[in-house]
Structure 1
């Protein structure tokens, strides 16, 4: 049984596929080699590429807790790397998402497909802020999570081919509402769709059609598509 609040699970479901797609785009842009970060200057450098970042929070592996940057005594909400992320806490207060307003979140209960529960908090937080994606920067005892808010980081382009994979992976992490997960990905790219009792029909940009099938419990079960040569 999930220890996340229903409000967090629904937000995660809405953002998961969008975030996963952006993470793949970020991985192609930003080499994961020896890295360095200067949070006062809000920079992260890896493989000769430097991007502007903000501090989301950190995950402590031994304690299995997530600590928001604004609650970390080493930083605080007025720190240059933390200030851009305070909108997450504000959204949590407005929507009743305790994971976004609790300074240190206990994730010891989590036993899901992600490496740890902190990864899901980073995903949701990064999705709220948009931008270029997020980075997990490991250190002794855990990982710090940085949000890339640099215009040089490219946005994920529309591509129909990986959609079923993105949807399946997103639903494995945030299974609450697979239809919402797909709809938000389509809306992100302004792809038209029609909802039916058993699925969602798409008219793909550039030609072609696709249909996502859902069972009686709302679970994603199948993807069918007919792509034109321009979409292959």
Structure 2
């Protein structure tokens, strides 16, 4: 049996799906993908330097659950959660369980992450919104927003856009294709005509749209002019934003691609080295869970039973928005430049390695930028990264050279941790390559065989009769990591 949302939610949402696809296509063309930030009090979202009124409807966590903004302590008392309350009220009136449960569990779907994306589009339709935005937050968690700013125009019919929207709207969720097709015609004020396996109608201006249906599928869409020739709507000028606020000071810089490639190769192994340091301190230095103390004069991290040699690496302040390399780290930064294949002239254009105070406010996830820089540099230099509050250290003690035998459960921790730090730093067009590089490099460095039999869904690191699988979403995001028997059933 097909797993889906409740009949009550589908009945409400399906008529909206085709025009939601059409509207979102327009929105994404007007507000291109880029660095995203939001203001909970205004409320608004800024993407690619364009600020629009927007509201949080929910968040998605790694455990496969969705939490409505009205139930989330981080948002429920702020203006940015107001429209999620409308959804709860709608759910109470119509008896829709997904809209009234504080935290719907999406794990019964084959792909919980995709189900969350679909839930956002249903919210966009139910709230008659003009766009939707997904923000990366708290490691690999995601925050979902609807845009209701009048600066975003309502989508006018365009031949290519409407054909794609009608197909995708019918295919998104199970059920008869007629519902979203009728909803699309109603949205554009068209009284449709029905015939065997088709729905058709005339748009303003005389263009005629014919949609052919077969069960749950739109099998064809034809758009012609009133005289049977080229449609007028295909020749119209593209719509534009009207009165949107430009925000040149909003976060706009992404992690530089040359350094991102190095971070992808190093960061999961850096997490492994940090774990190995903690294990060593527990076994040999009486580490009891309390943070060690940095002894500046001795150059050591002091544990109850002794110290580990190290050096200052840098410090940051996420609230004030800056990162600063520690004095004397030129050699570490030079190693990072070399690993990125950068010469002196190339590196001059990277403020991330200049040694000057780095302004983190121009980036999206500030802490992730600071940590990725410091972790990657420490690992490239052959050191172990650790932190005490906002201060970063490279532990140089030679006793930490051995990370121990391959531990499949530990590998899950390392891969998840590395992916969490990089998730918010990766642009859409480089995410798939970056995250697959992260998994592949980690396996290769540990001497595991890299198997591709599960591509594109997952990569495997194989040792003997066991493997670690790293699962990827269609956009390349690492969604799940698990150990198990080689070529077992998996998730």
Query: Is TM (by shorter chain) over 0.5?
Result: yes
What is the SS of the residue equivalent to 1:31?
A: coil
Alignment partner, residue 170 of structure 2: 171
Alignment partner, residue 4 of structure 1: 5
Q: Is residue 136 of structure 1 aligned with residue 134 of structure 2? A: yes
**Equivalent-residue separation in structure 2 for 1:183 and 1:80 (angstroms):** 34
Alignment partner, residue 56 of structure 2: 55
Deviates more, 1:195-204 or 1:130-139: 195-204
**Equivalent-residue separation in structure 2 for 1:196 and 1:218 (angstroms):** 16
Question: For 1:199-231, what per-residue CA distance to the aligned partner results, in whole angstroms no more than 9, with x for missing partners?
Answer: 21222332243322223x454323344334323
What is the SS of the residue equivalent to 2:79?
A: coil
Runs of 4+ in structure 1 off by over 6 angstroms are: none
Alignment partner, residue 73 of structure 2: 73
Question: Which sections of structure 2, spanning at least 5 residues, go unmatched?
Answer: 235-491
Alignment partner, residue 20 of structure 2: 19
Question: For 1:99-154, what per-residue CA distance to the aligned partner results, in whole angstroms no more than 9, with x for missing partners?
Answer: 11111011112126x95211111111111111321111112122101111211122
Q: Is residue 99 of structure 1 aligned with residue 101 of structure 2? A: no
What is the SS of the residue equivalent to 1:124?
A: helix
**Equivalent-residue separation in structure 2 for 1:3 and 1:176 (angstroms):** 10
Question: For 1:138-185, what per-residue CA distance to the aligned partner results, in whole angstroms no more than 9, with x for missing partners?
Answer: 121221011112111221112233323212211221231211101111
**Equivalent-residue separation in structure 2 for 1:68 and 1:165 (angstroms):** 30
Alignment partner, residue 233 of structure 2: 231
What is the SS of the residue equivalent to 1:32?
A: coil
Alignment partner, residue 33 of structure 1: 34
**Equivalent-residue separation in structure 1 for 2:133 and 2:209 (angstroms):** 32
Alignment of 1:74-223 (within 5 A): 74-76=74-76, 78-111=77-110, 115-139=113-137, 140-215=139-214, 217=215, 219-223=217-221
Higher relative contact order (CA 8 A, sep 6+): 1
When the two chains are superposed, the root-mean-square deviation of aligned CA atoms in Å is 1.9
Report the CA distance between 1:52 and its aligned residue: 1.2
What is the SS of the residue equivalent to 2:104?
A: strand
With over 3 angstroms needed to count, the CA separation of the structure-2 counterparts of 1:103 and 1:202, relative to structure 1, is same
**Equivalent-residue separation in structure 1 for 2:94 and 2:196 (angstroms):** 29
Question: Which sections of structure 1, spanning at least 5 residues, go unmatched?
Answer: none
**Equivalent-residue separation in structure 2 for 1:190 and 1:164 (angstroms):** 17
The two structures have a TM-score, normalised by structure 1, of 0.89
What is the SS of the residue equivalent to 2:145?
A: strand
**Equivalent-residue separation in structure 2 for 1:182 and 1:155 (angstroms):** 18
Aligned length: 228
**Equivalent-residue separation in structure 2 for 1:51 and 1:126 (angstroms):** 15
With over 3 angstroms needed to count, the CA separation of the structure-2 counterparts of 1:223 and 1:3, relative to structure 1, is closer
**Equivalent-residue separation in structure 1 for 2:168 and 2:4 (angstroms):** 20
Deviates more, 1:188-197 or 1:143-152: 188-197
Deviates more, 1:130-139 or 1:51-60: 130-139
**Equivalent-residue separation in structure 2 for 1:25 and 1:116 (angstroms):** 21
**Equivalent-residue separation in structure 2 for 1:64 and 1:102 (angstroms):** 15
What is the SS of the residue equivalent to 1:156?
A: coil
